[in-house]
């Protein structure tokens, strides 16, 4: 699995060097915030990686990681 993730250029999600960006960006012009598109992209990629990791696990250990919310936590 490590070789696959390295080959896809997404191993940084698993080893923790790719961190989740903030979900919202604060605007200095007006006192409001907007959704950060980098956050949405990061979450989508992380969920795809989580899916690959979870599908590679045996039923015997799957229950140990079901509460993990990022690929790094798995």
pLDDT of 31 reads: 66
Domain ranges of the chain: 38-53+62-74
Percent of the chain with pLDDT over 70: 93
pLDDT of 29 reads: 67
Percent of the chain with pLDDT over 90: 84
Instruction: Give the per-residue SS3 of the chain.
Output: CHHHHHHHCCHHHHHCCCCCCCCEEEECCCCEEEECHHHHHHHHHHHHHHHHHHHCCCHHHHCCCCCCCCCCCC
Tens digit of each residue's pLDDT (9 = 90 or more) over 3-18: 999 999 999 999 999 9
User: In this model, does residue 40 exceed pLDDT 80?
Assistant: yes
């Amino acid at each position: 699995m490590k070789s696959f993730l390295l080959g896809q250029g997404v191993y940084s999600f698993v080893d923790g060097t790719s961190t989740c960006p903030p979900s919202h960006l604060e605007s200095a012009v007006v006192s409001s915030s907007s959704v950060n598109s980098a956050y949405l992209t990061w979450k989508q990629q992380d969920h795809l990686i989580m899916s690959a990791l979870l599908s590679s696990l045996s039923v015997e250990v799957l229950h140990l990681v079901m509460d993990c919310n990022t690929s790094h936590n798995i």
